[in-house]
A and B are shown apart, each in its own frame.
Chain A
Amino acid sequence: MGTLGNLSYRVKVPLALSAVIVVASAILAAVLGAQIYADARRDLLANAESLGRTLARALTPAMLRDDVWQAYETIVAPLAGETADDSGRRSITVVDADGNIYASSDPARFPMLAPAKQALGAAVDKLVSSGDEKSPRIVEDTAGKAILVAVPIVADDGTRLGSVVISYSQDVFLPRFLTTAERVILSTLVALVALVPIGWWFGRRMAGPLVGLAGAMRRVGEAPPTELAQGLHRSGDEIGQLGTRFEQMLVELEGKQRLEREIVAADRLAAIGRLTAGTAHEINNPLAGMLTAIDTARKHGEPDPISASTLSLVERGLQQIRHSVSALLVEARFEARALTPQDLDDVRTLLEPEAATRQQTLNWESHLDRAVPLPSTPTRQILINLILNAIQAAGLGGTVSCRIQADEAQMSFEIRNDGRSIPAELMEHLFEPFSSGTEGGSGLGLWVTYQIVEQLRGTIRVRSGPPETEFAVALPLGAAA
């Protein structure tokens, strides 16, 4: 049972269907066989009785005249043409009124004048002994494995002259039965040859969706959910419902996984932010002191040329450090001025030449028709950073689209480009400082953008994959004020 239980439904269902077909065919064949046997027997006995009546009538004059040869010719005639094989199975014997054999179609086995009881078996007694019986009788001689049909030979005045006994060996049915049974079995086999492949095919077809579902479930975690969902059977039946439900679970799972990734990324960015801010403050304090000291040394000391050049070198280095640190340390200056549609037009005016130099199309779609309560400078910086990145990514002759809209609750930007997609390994660390592989970039553009969005309590999302990459920013209105 265990091994059978472990079999795939791909095998089990066709196997079960085939088994049902085979069993049904076998039952059908058996029922037909039994019917054939019963029919053969009934026909045989009916024929025997009818033959017996005919013979009894024909034998009456021969018996009256004691014409043995006439009697013999009469009973041999129906058997003419039978093969030697058949003749052993069927014999016709005339028994006289005294219970002795008068004539037999098989004189060797049933010699003339021998007692019928001795030759034909005890059963014959029941058939021929009772003198008053005028109707045919059928007796099965189980010992001799024969069926005896006896028809009395009666003179016109009703005197019983004897009986015709037609004896069939039990296996006389066998050839008749076998011939027909062979035909039934043959037809059944032909039907099976046709039906079993249909059953097999049908079974596989039925099991297919289940097997597909099981396969998809087994590969959860190995393949992307969208790919898993592709091969599923879609219908209203139970397996179809399972498939639909499974697909929903895959979608939910994917959402959950994305959310987890986002949380991890956000946590990491927050940690990096804190680290960066802390480090920047720690650096900025001594840095300011050092720069002041160099300035003082320049103004009040009289350094020799070598010292002067050294001081200059050190100052440039420190200035670079300050520059980098201040870039890392994003501190949005929240001035009171709200963002106006004019600000956005300025951004467009500023960036259009940049796009033009790369022969790009800049689709600008702004639905802002009023001032919104967002600090204009950082908001513009977000927009500029993202559009510049997009222009960078779109490459020569590409297309960059910018869509801006605002409602009561929030303002959103969607910046798209049709350039190369962002590699998956980069996506994880996209907003981290110095993660960008872009040539010529500082590696801080997205970091700064992220920091500003964070400070404005907004969200930023990236979706990248052929044919385009999209950055979507949503900023709540009035939250930062």
Chain B
Amino acid sequence: MNDEHPLRLSRRRFCAAALGLAAVVPRVAFAASDAHIRIGTTSVILDNQVGFLHAWRDYLQPRLGRPVTFLQRGSYREVTSMLLGDELDFAWVCGYPYVRNRAAWELVALPNYGGKPLYRSYLIVPVTDISAKGFDVLAGKVFAYSDPDSNSGFLVPQFEMLRTGIYPPTHFRKTFFTYAHHKVVAAVADGVAQGGAVDGYVWETLALRSPELTRRTRVAHVSDEYGFPPMVARRSLDRATYVLFRDTLLSMPGDARGRELLKQLNLDGFLPPDDTQFAGIARVLDFVASRERLPT
């Protein structure tokens, strides 16, 4: 930190001298001078939980020895681009963006959900629909996805349909994105959509927190297990911060406050990074990309 000040001063000189360099220098200066650890979150966990994120921040700050800022954005794509642009240090992202950005990102920890770092994608329908068991009967209906960059909320249902010979772009009469898993549940519960794809972990957690909402939906189909949305770091992050953050996450079940936060997350803890857990998502992505022209 001490050797950052000369850089800052030099930036001013550079800015005054050569405007051409000004575009490059600020990023360096910004990254080096910013004492905050910036963590991006997405709707892989229940978002809009400002109180929880404040509590988690207060938990992490003394352990990391630095101020922590949680940043929430409306879509996965925004968080992805922020992490790729080094505007974030860590991000809790979906497995699908992770698989696509493995080169730039490094796994930090995998959430332990029921003893495994795995989860499923649910196909949900309104509780009034007592017959649907898959995507086939939803032809010509309105369908809700959570996020175009979501594994459970978009990629897996695409895969499930393609696998059974359904062509997703024309199967439904209309589709829309809610940009949050719990909003998919709301859309189906309210009857806006006659079907929706949702993160199984989010649905189960909602069933604990807001059973009156999930009770109005029914899980019509459950996918195979896939790697749980992981906590990732940009590869450019310094090692010490990476290790400190990873160890802090892994040690959360070790103290009462950490357990309390994990309980709020409906998780058992964090597991060490294991890239093999995402082989399933990679396979699905390959399969879907081979049938459709999806960006890889």
B183 an interface residue at 8 Å Cβ cutoff?
Answer: yes
B32-40, B185-193, B235-243, B249-257: which lies at the interface? B185-193
Contacts of A68 in B (CB 8 A): 142, 174, 176, 192
A107 an interface residue at 8 Å Cβ cutoff?
Answer: yes
- Bound Cα distance A319, B117 (Å): 164
Contacts of A112 in B (CB 8 A): 142, 174, 192-193
- Chain A proximity of B146: nearest CB distance (Å): 10
Per-residue CB contact flags for chain A residues 59-78 toward chain B (1 = under 8 Å, else 0) read 00000001111001100100
A72 touches B192 (CB 8 A): yes
B54 an interface residue at 8 Å Cβ cutoff?
Answer: no
A113 touches B174 (CB 8 A): yes
Main secondary structure of the interface of B (DSSP, over half): mixed
Which residue of B is nearest A107, CB measured? B191
Chain B: interface size category: 10 to 19
- Bound Cα distance A73, B179 (Å): 12
B144 an interface residue at 8 Å Cβ cutoff?
Answer: yes
A329 an interface residue at 8 Å Cβ cutoff?
Answer: no
Contacts of B179 in A (CB 8 A): 69
A69 touches B183 (CB 8 A): yes
- Chain B proximity of A65: nearest CB distance (Å): 10
Contacts of A84 in B (CB 8 A): none
- Chain B proximity of A93: nearest CB distance (Å): 12
- Bound Cα distance A76, B174 (Å): 20
B176 touches A107 (CB 8 A): no
A113 and B187 in contact, given A68-B174, A69-B176, A69-B177 (Cβ under 8 angstroms): no
Contacts of B12 in A (CB 8 A): none
- Chain B proximity of A99: nearest CB distance (Å): 16
Number of interface residues of A (CB under 8 A): 13
B178 an interface residue at 8 Å Cβ cutoff?
Answer: yes
B177 touches A113 (CB 8 A): no
Contacts of B193 in A (CB 8 A): 112
A103 an interface residue at 8 Å Cβ cutoff?
Answer: yes
- Bound Cα distance A108, B183 (Å): 17
- Chain B proximity of A387: nearest CB distance (Å): 119
A103 and B192 in contact, given A69-B144, A72-B187 (Cβ under 8 angstroms): yes
- Chain A proximity of B51: nearest CB distance (Å): 20
- Chain B proximity of A102: nearest CB distance (Å): 10
- Bound Cα distance A107, B179 (Å): 20
Per-residue CB contact flags for chain B residues 172-184 toward chain A (1 = under 8 Å, else 0) read 0110111100010
- Bound Cα distance A76, B189 (Å): 14
B190 touches A107 (CB 8 A): yes
Contacts of A107 in B (CB 8 A): 190-192
Contacts of A69 in B (CB 8 A): 144, 176-179, 183, 187, 192
Contacts of A103 in B (CB 8 A): 192
- Chain B proximity of A204: nearest CB distance (Å): 64
Which residue of A is nearest B179, CB measured? A69
- Bound Cα distance A103, B176 (Å): 12
Contacts of B176 in A (CB 8 A): 66-69
Per-residue CB contact flags for chain B residues 124-143 toward chain A (1 = under 8 Å, else 0) read 00000000000000000010
Per-residue CB contact flags for chain B residues 87-113 toward chain A (1 = under 8 Å, else 0) read 000000000000000000000000000
Which residue of A is nearest B187, CB measured? A69
In the complex, which of the residues A66, A76, A113 contacts B142, with contact meaning CB atoms closer than 8 Å?
A: A113
Which residue among A67, A73, A112 has the maximum number of chain B CB atoms within 10 Å of its CB?
A: A112
- Bound Cα distance A107, B144 (Å): 14
- Chain A proximity of B24: nearest CB distance (Å): 34
Per-residue CB contact flags for chain A residues 112-140 toward chain B (1 = under 8 Å, else 0) read 11000000000000000000000000000
- Bound Cα distance A244, B176 (Å): 97
Which residue among B173, B174, B178, B192 has the maximum number of chain A CB atoms within 10 Å of its CB?
A: B192
Contacts of B192 in A (CB 8 A): 68-69, 72, 103, 107, 112
- Chain A proximity of B78: nearest CB distance (Å): 15
- Bound Cα distance A69, B144 (Å): 9
- Bound Cα distance A111, B140 (Å): 13
- Chain B proximity of A100: nearest CB distance (Å): 10
- Chain B proximity of A97: nearest CB distance (Å): 16
A108 touches B191 (CB 8 A): yes
- Bound Cα distance A316, B192 (Å): 146
Task: Give me the 10 closest cross-chain CB pairs, A-B, nearest first.
Answer: A68-B176, A107-B191, A69-B178, A107-B192, A108-B191, A112-B142, A72-B192, A69-B176, A107-B190, A113-B174
Q: Which residues of A contact B (CB under 8 A)?
A: 66-69, 72-73, 76, 103, 107-108, 111-113
Q: Which residues of B contact A (CB under 8 A)?
A: 142, 144, 173-174, 176-179, 183, 187, 190-193
25 pairs from A and B in contact (CB 8 Å cutoff) = A66-B176, A68-B142, A68-B174, A68-B176, A69-B144, A69-B176, A69-B177, A69-B178, A69-B179, A69-B187, A69-B192, A72-B190, A72-B192, A73-B183, A76-B190, A107-B190, A107-B191, A107-B192, A111-B142, A112-B142, A112-B174, A112-B192, A112-B193, A113-B142, A113-B174
Additional pairs, 17, CB under 8 Å, beyond known A69-B179, A103-B192:
A67-B177, A68-B142, A68-B174, A68-B176, A69-B176, A69-B177, A69-B187, A69-B192, A72-B187, A73-B183, A76-B190, A107-B192, A111-B142, A112-B192, A113-B142, A113-B173, A113-B174
